[in-house]
Amino acid sequence: MKIRRFMYGDELPLLAVFISSVRGLAIQDYTPEQIDAWAPQQSARSKWDNDEWQQKIRTLRPFVVEIKQQIVGYADLQSTGYIDHFFVAQHAARQGVGSLLMQHIDAQAKLLSLTELTADVSLTAEPFFARHGFHIIKRNRAICRGVILLNASMKKSI
């Protein structure tokens, strides 16, 4: 397993990880309607969605995990300590990819002299974040493509 910084050209493989994670893992906690709003199937995504995705990922500049040169997970850390994206592909779940990413984020946060990490976390990811020292600050009702998704704002002191 190798971790590295985002490179141009990673955008579509990262989209595949995102889709795999949401559609394959979060389905246990969200309805099909919610999953379709959060991670539309390719036939439902427009060129605009793909362009917006590429711009978003380039702005986030996430850390990327590869296994045998295949991207299997990614996460970002913003200068404020906010983690915007944290996703592991379904086929790579429970293999240490998420823990490697979180350890890397913790180390980067210390280098940046951050005192806390925050994230808005899906119901599916809550137990993982809790195992890594995060606690729930509040429950949220986010709206995505007109559909309500429940999540939690979580925080961890460093």
Q: pLDDT tens digits, residue range 40-91?
A: 876 555 655 778 899 999 999 999 999 999 999 999 999 999 999 999 999 9
Helix boundaries (H) for 9-143: 11-24, 32-38, 47-60, 97-111, 126-131
153 in any annotated domain: no
* pTM value surpassing 0.75: yes
92 in any annotated domain: yes
Range of the domain at 94: 2-112
94 in any annotated domain: yes
Sign of the Cα torsion 100, 103, 109, 115 reads: positive
141 in any annotated domain: no
Taking a C-beta distance cutoff of 8 angstroms, is the pair 84, 99 a contact?
no
Q: Please state, for a pLDDT cut of 70, what percent of the chain lies above it.
A: 96
Quote helix, strand, coil % in the chain, to nearest 5: 40, 30, 30
As a whole number, the mean pLDDT across the chain is 94
Q: Please state, for a pLDDT cut of 90, what percent of the chain lies above it.
A: 91
Q: How many domains does the chain have?
A: 1
Q: Which pLDDT tens digit goes with each residue over 100-140?
A: 999 999 999 999 999 999 999 999 999 999 999 999 999 99
| Domain CATH number, residue 86 | 3.40.630.30
